[in-house]
């Protein structure tokens, strides 16, 4: 089996903390797990390492990613691209592994994996531009995974596991930040509202396909204030690196139309009538962290902790070439795109305060 580098990826911290944060709410070990499994699709926020063996620059299997992440297991015992989700979380497992690049045990299969790929999106062009795994391919990997699950547990038990699993979908930000605003491929063809419609249509199609595969509870993560992310301030915010309002407007429009689409699906769009999609708003809390960071004890809200903090992410954020700030917890962002562990904790607290009762 492959083993992990001496650090664990920070970029998949959101799901890690979602799993941990259940402790203190409803989970009681004597009552068994809250869900049968956790199954994840999406981008870098929930990608624990599926990109590691791809011919792409979009990977973070190197220091300083994970420098603040603690685990009771020594690094050599942690599978590549897995991350801790303490047994007191959802009660499912300690580690949620990537589907690719690791030797999955029967227990791994029984309790879920992540198919997510950093920098993918609902626009079919997005994964092509950076050579990562499309959401359609993630679905095909799920079908393959289901076959392996049947081989381990049988058809009846497989159906029970999938029926009781929590599915998580997190994508869309890379479509706006990278494909639309950073490359010329879509902006010459679409204005912002029509591009948002393209993404919402892709998201609806994806949710229907996940539902048709047996998902009964799906948590759908909304888009953050894209224009206030450090890299987007640098690319679009001028010399003073202000929040770039067109990007934020695109995110707000996307979130509004996604919620309308989810409402339709939950009321009459799902042919089975048994799938519930829960929209998870992260725009509001991230906006608060960036605009009023001092309220939470943050002293730096516009730059990451890696290198200059203005543009470094994935391959550019490499401890061999750039330094990392001494006080990571003072920053909202770790690199120029992804929050720090402390910021993620606040985001996850907010998600659970608002959505736990309907998520599980």
- How far is it, in rounded angstroms, from Cα 240 to Cα 344? 26
So what's the pLDDT on residue 99? 96
In this prediction the pTM is 0.90
- Quickly name the fold that domain 13-284+344-355 has: Rossmann fold (3.40.50)
- For 223-261, the pLDDT digits (tens) are 999 999 999 999 999 999 999 999 999 999 999 999 999
So what's the pLDDT on residue 3? 38
In this structure, what token pair is assigned to residue 1?
A: 């089996």
- How far is it, in rounded angstroms, from Cα 112 to Cα 96? 7
- Burial label, 353 (beta-carbon count in 10 A; 0-12, 13-18, 19+): exposed
Where along the chain do its domains lie?
Answer: 13-284+344-355, 285-343
Sort strands 83-84 and 95-96 into parallel, antiparallel or unpaired.
antiparallel
Place of tokens 């599980």: 360
So what's the pLDDT on residue 94? 61
Name the packing angle between helices 245-264 and 283-291 (round to 10°): 160
Which residues pair with residue 219 across a beta bridge?
168, 278
So what's the pLDDT on residue 96? 75
Which residues pair with residue 96 across a beta bridge?
83
Q: Which residues of 41-53 are buried (b: 16+ CB within 10 A; e: fewer)?
A: bbbbbbbbbbbbe
So what's the pLDDT on residue 61? 82
Residues of the chain with pLDDT under 70: 1-33, 66-95, 269-273
Four-point Cα dihedral 235, 240, 242, 245, nearest 10: -60
Return the closest-CA partner of residue 263 out of 209, 220, 225, 224.
Answer: 220
Residue 358: phi and psi, rounded to 5, are: -100, -10
So what's the pLDDT on residue 32? 63
Sort strands 83-84 and 217-221 into parallel, antiparallel or unpaired.
unpaired
So what's the pLDDT on residue 69? 53
SS (H, E, C) the chain: CCECCCCCCCCCHHHHHHHHHCCCCCCCHHHCCCCCCEEEEECHHHCCCCCCCCCCCCCCCCCCCCCCCCCCCCHHHCECCCEECCCCCCCCCCEECECCCCCCCHHHHHHCCECCCCCCCCCCHHHHHHCCCCHHHHHHHHHHHHHHHHHHHCHHHHHHHHHCCEEEEECCHHHHHHHHCCCCCCCCCCCHHHHHHHHHHHHHHHHHHHHHCCCCEEEEECCCCHHHCHHHHHHHCCCCCCCCHHHHHHHHHHHHHHHHHHHHHHHHHCCCCCCEEEEECCHHHHHHHHHCHHHHCCCECCCCCECCCCCCCHHHCCCCCCCECCCHHHECECCCCCECHHHHHHHHHHHHHHHHHHHC
In this structure, what token pair is assigned to residue 145?
A: 């995974």
In order of 33, 80, 142, 145, 250, the CA distances from 100 in angstroms are 25, 9, 11, 11, 32
Active centre residues (catalytic): 44, 335, 338
Which residues pair with residue 222 across a beta bridge?
none
């Amino acid at each position: 089996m492959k083993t992990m580098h001496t650090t664990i990826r920070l970029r998949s911290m959101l799901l890690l903390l979602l799993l941990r944060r259940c402790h203190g709410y409803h989970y009681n070990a004597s009552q068994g797990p809250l869900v049968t499994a956790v199954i994840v699709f999406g981008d870098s926020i929930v990608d624990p390492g599926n990109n590691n063996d791809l011919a792409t620059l979009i990977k973070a299997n190197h220091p300083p990613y994970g420098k603040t992440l603690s685990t009771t297991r020594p690094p050599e015992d942690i599978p590549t691209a897995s991350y801790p989700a303490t047994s007191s979380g959802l009660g499912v497992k300690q580690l949620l592994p990537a589907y690719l690049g690791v030797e999955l045990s029967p227990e791994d299969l029984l309790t879920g994996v992540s198919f997510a790929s950093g920098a993918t999106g609902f626009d079919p062009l997005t994964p092509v531009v950076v050579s990562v795994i499309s959401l359609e391919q993630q679905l095909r990997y799920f079908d393959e995974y289901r076959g392996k699950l049947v081989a381990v547990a049988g058809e009846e038990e497989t159906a029970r596991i999938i029926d009781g699993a929590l599915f998580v979908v997190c994508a869309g930000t890379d479509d706006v930040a990278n494909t639309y605003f950073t490359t010329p491929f879509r902006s010459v063809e679409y204005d912002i509202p029509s591009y948002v419609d393209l993404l919402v249509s892709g998201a609806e199609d994806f949710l229907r396909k996940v539902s048709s595969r047996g998902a009964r509870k799906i948590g759908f993560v909304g888009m953050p204030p894209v224009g206030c992310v450090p890299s987007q301030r640098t690319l679009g915010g001028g010399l003073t690196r202000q929040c770039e309002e067109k990007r934020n407007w695109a995110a707000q429009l996307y979130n509004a139309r996604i919620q309308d689409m989810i409402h339709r699906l939950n009321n009459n769009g799902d042919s089975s009538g048994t799938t519930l999609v829960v929209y998870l708003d992260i725009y509001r809390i991230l906006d608060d962290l960036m605009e009023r960071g001092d309220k939470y004890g943050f002293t730096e809200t516009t730059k990451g902790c890696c290198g200059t903090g203005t543009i470094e992410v994935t391959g550019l954020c490499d401890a061999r070439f750039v330094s990392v700030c001494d006080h990571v917890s003072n920053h909202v962002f770790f690199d120029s795109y992804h929050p720090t562990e402390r910021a993620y904790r606040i985001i996850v607290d907010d998600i659970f305060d608002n959505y736990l009762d309907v998520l599980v």
